[in-house]
């Protein structure tokens, strides 16, 4: 990853069609745009690719989470369960809706542990967000079955897993809604941008209207209609240049995944020299988007020692226990309730603290991630870089 590695003539051609039309706004200006509707075309293509009936483009993967949660009816006082190993955007979106994030452990998939999930469900749980971290599936079938028994909708955070499949079915299409990110480090990218997919027409309608300031889209679903406002909304509209780049990148996505799978195999073979090495559990290797390669060593001390050697060689891996953006114990702004709001919202309300998080609350996840090292898998991997990584891993033995 990411998709900018293979930016080329296709992206340029799509963008020039937008610039030649002179219309960057996704709605209206029909007479001026010469029938160029790139965001709408991108939505239709992405829905068809993932097997969903509807797709709603937005400004980012973070916005996609917020739009989906609002469309699901999540609000103040509700609880939303997600996992303690994710990018901060997952729980930021929950807090931004006024709801309370509840965190589960992860298992050897490095995704949500369904056993711990069941312990965290309460009468206040209004949604469950499993995250398909680092391009590989959570136990989404088990999670969905559990959620269905409790009549709780599942929102799949598929930000890092575009192109990933489980038993032939695209991630993001198992739950009520799936969200994707197309930022600059994703497998397919539009610079910034995101997408929500669903096969629930009513849910799509709410997402479509909410991301456009609550603008009435009823006469023309997916586009603007009348001047009514069924509810308040906000502006999360994708612009036409992003839609244009998305169309070119989507056409290349399966080829990107194929290249990443080949390069991931190199990483696994290279790491196999390490005594006691284990690999992250991949539920469907054939469907893996292969954006990351993760391996686990017997204990945290050995993991740190190995990575010290790799760093000295200039090929250090990501050590999640040192990471401040994806690792629960290091989210000091969450744990300490830091907010720019003078009244302490969303951690405080009416002068009282709403929630307090314990940094030691997820010991199983901390133990797993403390002995995990990860490499991002590029689309293009030079032979000299392969040699450098392989030699460093041999030295680390």
> What does DSSP say about strands 155-157 and 177-181: parallel, antiparallel, or unpaired?
parallel
Instruction: Per residue of the chain (397 residues), give pLDDT as tens.
Output: 578 899 999 999 999 999 999 999 999 898 899 999 999 999 999 999 999 999 999 999 999 999 999 999 999 999 999 999 999 999 999 999 999 999 999 999 999 999 999 999 999 999 999 999 999 999 999 999 999 999 999 999 999 999 999 999 999 999 999 999 999 999 999 999 999 999 999 999 999 999 999 998 876 655 676 778 899 999 999 999 999 999 999 999 999 999 999 999 999 999 999 999 999 999 999 999 999 999 999 999 999 999 999 999 999 999 999 999 999 999 999 999 999 999 999 999 999 999 999 999 999 999 999 999 999 999 999 999 999 999 999 999 9
- Second CATH level (architecture) for the domain 254-396: Alpha-Beta Complex (3.90)
Distances in Å between the Cα of 356 and the Cα atoms of 217, 249, 250, 336, 353 are: 40, 42, 41, 8, 7
How many Cβ atoms from other residues are within 10 Å of residue 380's Cβ? 9
Distances in Å between the Cα of 214 and the Cα atoms of 65, 95, 321 are: 17, 21, 41
β-bridge mates for residue 181, sequence order: 194
Handedness of CA 102, 106, 109, 115 (dihedral sign): negative
The class that CATH gives domain 3-251 is: alpha beta
Decide: pTM greater than 0.75.
yes
Enzyme catalytic residues: 186
Strands (E), the chain: 54-58, 79-83, 100-104, 125-128, 155-157, 165-166, 169-170, 177-181, 194-198, 278-279, 292-296, 318-319, 348-349, 352-353, 372-376
Give the closest residue to 386 by CA, choosing from 396, 375, 372, 397. 375
The residue count for the chain: 397
The residues near 2 (Cβ < 8 Å, ≥ 6 apart) are 184, 185, 186, 187, 188, 189, 379
What residue has token string 């930016």?
7
Cα–Cα distance between 130 and 86 in angstroms, integer?
9
Query: Alpha carbon 170 to chain centroid distance?
Result: 14
Give the closest residue to 80 by CA, choosing from 29, 133, 122, 137. 122
Residue pLDDT, tens place only, 287-321: 999 999 999 999 999 999 999 999 999 999 999 99
The reply to whether 254-396 shares the fold of 3-251 is no
| In the chain, domain spans | 3-251, 254-396
Phi and psi of 207, rounded to 5°?
-65, -40
How many Cβ atoms from other residues are within 10 Å of residue 10's Cβ? 15
Contact status, residue 54 vs residue 198, Cβ threshold 8 Å: yes
């Amino acid at each position: 990853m990411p998709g900018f590695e293979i930016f080329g003539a296709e992206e340029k051609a799509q963008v020039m069609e937008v610039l030649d039309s002179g219309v960057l706004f996704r709605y209206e200006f029909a007479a001026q745009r010469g029938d160029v509707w790139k965001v709408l075309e991108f939505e239709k293509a992405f829905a068809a690719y993932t097997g969903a009936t509807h797709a709603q483009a937005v400004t980012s993967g973070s916005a996609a989470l917020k739009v989906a949660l609002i469309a699901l009816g999540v609000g103040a006082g509700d609880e939303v369960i997600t996992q303690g190993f994710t990018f901060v955007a997952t729980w930021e979106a929950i807090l931004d809706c006024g709801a309370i994030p509840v965190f589960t452990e992860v298992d050897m998939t490095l995704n949500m542990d369904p056993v711990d999930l069941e312990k965290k469900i309460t009468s206040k749980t209004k949604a469950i967000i499993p995250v398909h971290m680092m391009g590989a599936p959570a136990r989404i079938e088990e999670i969905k079955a559990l959620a269905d028994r409790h009549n709780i909708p599942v929102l799949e955070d598929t930000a890092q897993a575009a192109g990933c499949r489980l038993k032939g079915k695209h991630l993001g299409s198992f739950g009520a809604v799936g969200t994707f990110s197309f930022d600059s480090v994703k497998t397919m990218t539009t610079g910034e941008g995101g997408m929500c997919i669903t096969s629930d027409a009513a849910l799509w309608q709410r997402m479509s209207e909410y991301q456009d300031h609550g603008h009435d889209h009823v006469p023309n679903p997916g586009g603007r209609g009348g001047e009514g406002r069924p509810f308040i909304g906000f502006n999360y509209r994708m612009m036409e240049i992003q839609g244009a780049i998305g169309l070119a990148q989507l056409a290349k996505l399966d080829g990107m995944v194929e290249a990443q799978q080949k390069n991931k195999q190199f990483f696994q073979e290279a790491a196999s020299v390490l005594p006691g090495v284990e690999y992250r559990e991949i539920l469907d290797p054939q469907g893996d988007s292969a954006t990351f390669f993760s391996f686990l060593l017997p204990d945290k001390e050995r993991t740190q020692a190995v990575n010290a050697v790799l760093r000295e060689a200039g090929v250090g891996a990501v050590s999640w226990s040192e990471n401040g953006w994806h690792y629960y114990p290091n989210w000091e702004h969450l744990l300490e309730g830091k907010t720019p709001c003078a009244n302490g919202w969303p951690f405080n309300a009416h002068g009282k603290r709403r929630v307090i998080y314990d940094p030691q609350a997820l010991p199983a996840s901390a133990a797993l991630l403390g002995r995990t090292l990860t490499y991002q898998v590029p689309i293009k991997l030079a032979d000299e870089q392969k040699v450098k990584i392989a030699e460093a891993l041999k030295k680390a033995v």
